[in-house]
Amino acid sequence: MSASGTAAAGQIEHMLRQVTPGRYDAYEALLGALAEDQVWMLLWHGQAGSPAAQYGNMEVDGLGYAPCVTSAQELAASGWNRAHEVVSGTDVARTLYPDHYGLWLNPHAPGGGVGIPWLDLRRIATGLDKLPAGPLRLAEPAIEIPQFYAQLTQNAHRTPAVRSLRRAWVQPALGAPYLAIGLDVYATDPASVDAVRAMMQQSISVVPEGLPVSTVAMSDEYDPVAMWLRANARPFYDRESHASPAGGGYGYPQPRAY
C-alpha cells in the first residue's frame, strides 16, 4: 500500500501496535483512527445487512464487548468461519454504546487485542473533541472558591428550573483538570435551558481566572461525570433538600484491558 494511499484500517493497525498501558496519547490516536474508518464485525447469527444479523459478544472483567477485526487480512488470520459485516467505526460506536457494549479489536491477535470500553465508543459517536478523554479521575473538589459557590447557589435559587447542583473535580487522561457542575433540572424546554444557561453565565464571572468550569446534565445516563456525581456526591444546592444516594463506580474497567 503506497504512503499516499494508506487506508485508515492501516492506521488503526499501526496505532494498535503503539498502545500499551499508560500510553493514553497512543490510545487517543487509536480512537481517532477508529472514528475515521471501518472495522470487520464478526456476526454470530445472520448475514450482513440482514435484520437477523447479530454481532458476537464477549465479556472481560464483567463488561460486554463485541469482537471485530481491523482488515480483511486480520479476518483471514482470525479463522472466523461465520459471516461478517464491514461497518464504519462511528456507526458501530453509535450502535453499541447505548447498550453499554464496548468494541474489542482483533481478539485473536497475540496478547489478545485491545478493548474499547463503551464510554469511549460514546466519545467516538458524539465527537472525540466534545467529551474528556477517559478513564477519568474524579473526586470532591479541594479548591476553595466560596464566592463562586455562594453566587451559584443564589442564582440557582432564583432559577425555578434548577432542582439541585453537584460538583466534582475531573482529571481527564489527557488534558487539564477542571471543575464540573452537575445540573439537575425540572424541565428541558427551551425557556428552561436558556434560564439555566444564563444562571451559569452570571455565576462564572466570579470564578478565579484560569480555572476551567464545565457543566454536565445529571439526566445524562451515559456521561461518566454525571454517573459519578449521582453515585458519590451530595448536592451543595438542593431545592427540595433531598439527599443523594450512594453507589458504585462509573463504567470504566479497572484497570483498562489491553
Residue 9, pLDDT > 90, answer no
More confident residue, 98 or 4: 98
Considering the chain, what is the average pLDDT of its residues? 88
Flag whether pLDDT at 177 surpasses 90.
yes
Domain with CATH 3.40.1350.90 in the chain: 3-126
Distance of CA 223 to the CA centre of its chain: 6
Cα–Cα distance between 199 and 158 in angstroms, integer? 9
> Any idea what DSSP says for residue 255?
S
pLDDT value at 149 more than 90: yes
Residue 246 clears pLDDT 50, i.e. is over it: no
**pLDDT at 244 > cutoff 50:** no
**Domain spanning 3-126, CATH class:** alpha beta
Q: Is the pLDDT of residue 248 over 60?
A: no
Confidence at 99, pLDDT banded by 50, 70, 90: very high
216, 223 contact by CB (below 8 A): yes
Q: How far apart are CA 201 and CA 199, in angstroms?
A: 6
CATH 2.60.40 assigned to domain 137-238? The reply is no
Query: The pTM is what?
Result: 0.80
Listed in order, the ranges of the chain carrying CATH 3.30.70 are 137-238
